[in-house]
């Protein structure tokens, strides 16, 4: 039985060959149609725009991590005596935004605020960038927002926010020439 199946298979394969009278396959090369990749989201807009309230989760000055908070804003590790360290991004129009930082200083009960006017623009499909047009020579302002997770990152050298350490007194509205890094996440996420 097996030799018969083998012979039938061989005969059927030989009959599938094109003969001299059968039409030939087209001789022109057929190019596959390749569609351009479609981004998940337009690079000109963000999901809901950058405006909103963000809770600062990391605050670093001159390489020293002074404040770490969870996504709900509660301090996990802090060398500062503060609560509710937040950033509010407000859209003013014409690509202008204000970045307003604030925190509650536990010993005094004061809520100092720092405001900076910046220009916002789409950097690429993933990041929204804030630039400060009034940066003084020798200072750095690098600020961006990841468009989908809404994680905020800012690095400044010069004119950075300086919060007094626990147990130290001093003005609450200080700035520093040292490197300051701030990372924040949207409130409620």
Domain ranges of the chain: 52-186
Phi–psi pair at 156, nearest 5 degrees: -130, 145
pLDDT above 90: residue 133 = no
Q: What is the C-alpha separation between 154 and 182, in angstroms, rounded?
A: 5
- pLDDT higher for 14 or 143? 143
Whether 119 and 130 have beta carbons less than 8 Å apart is answered as yes
Average pLDDT, the chain: 82
Q: What is the C-alpha separation between 98 and 92, in angstroms, rounded?
A: 7
CATH architecture entry for 52-186: Beta Barrel (2.40)
Closest listed residue to residue 189, CA positions, set 21, 37, 83, 70: 70
Q: What is the C-alpha separation between 141 and 130, in angstroms, rounded?
A: 9
Contacts of 27 (CB under 8 A, 6+ apart): none
pLDDT reported for residue 43: 37
pLDDT reported for residue 67: 96
Q: What is the DSSP letter of 5?
A: H
Band of residue 52 on the pLDDT scale cut at 50, 70, 90: very high
pLDDT reported for residue 45: 39
| Cα first-last separation, the chain | 70
Residue 148 structure tokens? 């989908």
pLDDT above 60: residue 19 = no
Q: What is the DSSP letter of 126?
A: S
pLDDT above 80: residue 39 = no
pLDDT above 90: residue 28 = no
Band of residue 172 on the pLDDT scale cut at 50, 70, 90: confident
Residues in the chain: 189
Band of residue 116 on the pLDDT scale cut at 50, 70, 90: very high
Whether 55 and 72 have beta carbons less than 8 Å apart is answered as yes
Query: Which secondary-structure segment (H or E) carries 12?
Result: helix 2-15
Q: Considering the entire predicted model, what is its pTM?
A: 0.72
């Amino acid at each position: 039985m097996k030799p018969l199946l083998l012979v039938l298979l061989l005969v059927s394969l030989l009959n599938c060959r094109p003969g001299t009278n059968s039409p030939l396959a087209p001789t022109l090369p057929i190019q596959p149609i390749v569609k351009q990749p479609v981004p998940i989201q337009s690079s000109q807009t963000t999901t809901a725009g950058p405006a909103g309230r963000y809770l600062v989760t990391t605050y670093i000055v001159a390489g020293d991590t002074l404040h770490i908070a969870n996504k709900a804003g509660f301090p996990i590790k802090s060398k500062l005596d503060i609560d509710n360290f937040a950033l509010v991004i407000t859209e003013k129009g014409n690509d202008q935004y204000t970045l307003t930082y604030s925190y509650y200083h536990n010993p005094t009960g004061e809520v100092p605020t720092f405001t900076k006017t910046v220009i916002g623009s789409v950097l690429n499909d993933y990041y929204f960038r804030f630039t400060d047009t009034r940066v003084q020579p020798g200072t750095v302002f690098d600020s961006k927002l990841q468009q989908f997770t809404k994680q905020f990152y800012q690095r400044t050298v010069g004119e950075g926010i300086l919060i007094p350490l626990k147990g130290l007194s001093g003005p609450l509205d200080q700035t520093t020439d040292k490197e300051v890094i701030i990372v924040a996440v949207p409130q409620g996420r």
